[in-house]
Amino acid sequence: MARPFLFGTNFKMNQTPVESAVFYQQLAASVQIPPDTHLFVIPPFTSLPAVKDVVGQPPHGIWVGAQNVHWAPDGAYTGEISVGMLRALDVDLVLLGHAERRRYFHETDVELNRKVLAALSASMRVLLAVGETAEERSFGVGGETVLRQLRIGLHGVQPEHLELVQIAYEPVWSIGAGGTPASPDDVEPIAKLIRSGCQDLFAGSGAGIPILYGGSVDPTNAGTFTALPDIDGLFVGRAAWTVEGFVATCHAGYEGYSKGDRAIG
């Protein structure tokens, strides 16, 4: 058995419902999905119903995700969205802990843990993003930061829910137009640390958790990250915001992935 290849994009605060639905439709019509691969798109909340309408019509097979969720089942939380609301739309996955949520909305590891547990208890897939800031890196505590985010974020996850969990390692300093692209040499030791952190938390089952890399990924560097033994996929922003860019980056990433050995016993 091997860990699957995962590839997806997050549209952040971009796209109208129609734009998201057209993107999904064109993507589903043009991308070849290799075996053992899961693709996903994460549009804004307001686009989810329109995209799920398109998913109802073949061809499909690409997961649709939400960018955030609240931990409570309901209540006085103005502006928030519950797991039940996402389940009602048949959403496949929820992204939690993106660097922008941590930075601009001050989401803490403890809050993220509550969100992770709420999503998993409703059998929803979780993509938990972790990553150190430039400042943390400069003080030599990048690895510690990522491990803390991982250990708190996944605290209390039950073994039967592990197959719903994936981790995105996104160094904050590498994300977005102002970011400095990381090299595979930067990523390899942290990916290894995340892998061993998963194994410490969940013993043998931790070996099966997919780890994605994200931060200034494009078709020229995608394969260099997925050739790393602990990187099983990519979580891409700007380069995958056109259908052509999504397909090109995905194919480059899959090539790198195909070279690696990810047997998990």
Give the residue numbers marked as catalytic.
Answer: 98, 170
By the rule CB under 6 A, 10 interacts with ligand PGA: yes
- Residue 192: strand, helix, or coil: helix
Q: How far is the CB of 11 from ligand PGA (least distance, A)?
A: 10
Which parts of 206-265 interact with ligand PGA (CB under 6 A)?
214-217, 235-239
Rank residues 208 and 233 by Cβ distance to ligand PGA and give the closer one: 233
235 alpha carbon, distance to own chain's centre: 6
By the rule CB under 6 A, 92 interacts with ligand PGA: no
CA torsion through residues 101, 9, 49, 243, sign: positive
214: left (phi over 0), alpha (psi -120 to 50) or beta: beta
Q: How far is the CB of 59 from ligand PGA (least distance, A)?
A: 26
Q: 10 Å Cβ neighbour count for 35?
A: 6
- Residue 122: strand, helix, or coil: coil
Q: How far is the CB of 253 from ligand PGA (least distance, A)?
A: 12
Of 27, 42, 175, 250, the residue at the interface with ligand PGA (CB under 6 A) is: 175
CA separation, residue 44 to residues 20, 118, 180, 229, 235 (Å): 9, 20, 26, 32, 16
The tally of CA atoms less than 13 A away on the side-chain side of residue 206 is 17
| Pairwise CA distance, residues 226 & 232, whole Å | 6
13 alpha carbon, distance to own chain's centre: 16
By the rule CB under 6 A, 170 interacts with ligand PGA: yes
Q: How many residues bind ligand PGA (CB under 6 A)?
A: 14
Rank residues 80 and 218 by Cβ distance to ligand PGA and give the closer one: 218
CA separation, residue 194 to residues 34, 61, 84, 149, 152 (Å): 26, 28, 30, 10, 13
Which parts of 178-197 interact with ligand PGA (CB under 6 A)?
179
By the rule CB under 6 A, 49 interacts with ligand PGA: no
Rank residues 131 and 206 by Cβ distance to ligand PGA and give the closer one: 131
Build a one-symbol-per-residue string for 117-156: x at contacts with ligand PGA by CB under 6 A, - elsewhere.
----------------------------------------
Rank residues 82 and 216 by Cβ distance to ligand PGA and give the closer one: 216
Residues that bind ligand PGA (CB under 6 A): 10, 170, 175-176, 179, 214-217, 235-239
